[in-house]
Amino acid sequence: MAAGRESKLQLVHRHIRAFSDFPKKGILFRDICPILKDPAALTAVIDLFEEHVRKNHQHVELIVGLDARGFLFGPLLAQRLDVGFVLVRKKGKLPGSTVSVAYDLEYGKAEAEIQEDAVAPGQKVLLIDDLLATGGTLYAACELMKKQQAEVLGCMVVIELKELNGIDKLKSHSVFSLVQY
């Protein structure tokens, strides 16, 4: 299985494009759009996440996807695992009663929220997003789960930008990344 896993990781890696100076000068943007365009690459991503979850988090009850790219991978994984999927959105995007948490961005603040009844106290959840950079968004989502009294089993991302040390913000949680730069 290790050879199959390695070939899937290579396929995923080949489908990540780099764009210099986007969204501003000095930034090297890692683009996952080619993964979404290629059915084999997208299947490889979900296969690798599923393998990780089945091996390490057999008792997961919900996949929690972060706005917006966690919405791309999360439902596919949740369906494979036969568990539910819920959304963490930017403030003001969800109807009904919500719970929110404010967090710092590089140049300002933002808020993330979840519907109040989306996660029950004690539910075992895994958070998923496309990218771990500075860790602010994933940290905020973990704080939302804490407010909801959910049990965060871990966080999963397609790409981790190691030089930005986002994992430092998530020290109390396990983080699984498919590709690291």
Residue 87 CA to residue 42 CA, distance in Å, equals 20
Cα distances (Å, whole numbers) of residue 52 to 10, 57, 62, 77, 149:
17, 8, 15, 11, 24
Task: Indicate if 14 belongs to the active site.
Answer: no
Beta strand 62-66 with 124-132 is: parallel
d(CA 47, CA 99): 32
- Residue 154 vs residues 80, 151, 170, 176: alpha-carbon distances, Å: 18, 9, 10, 8
Is 113 known to be catalytic?
Answer: no
- List all residues 6 or more positions away from 143 whose beta carbon is below 8 Å from its beta carbon: 101, 103
Nearest to 123 by CA among 65, 84, 177: 84
* Catalytic site residue from 5, 50, 51, 69: 69
CA–CA gap between residue 98 and residue 128 (Å, rounded): 20
Active centre residues (catalytic): 69, 106
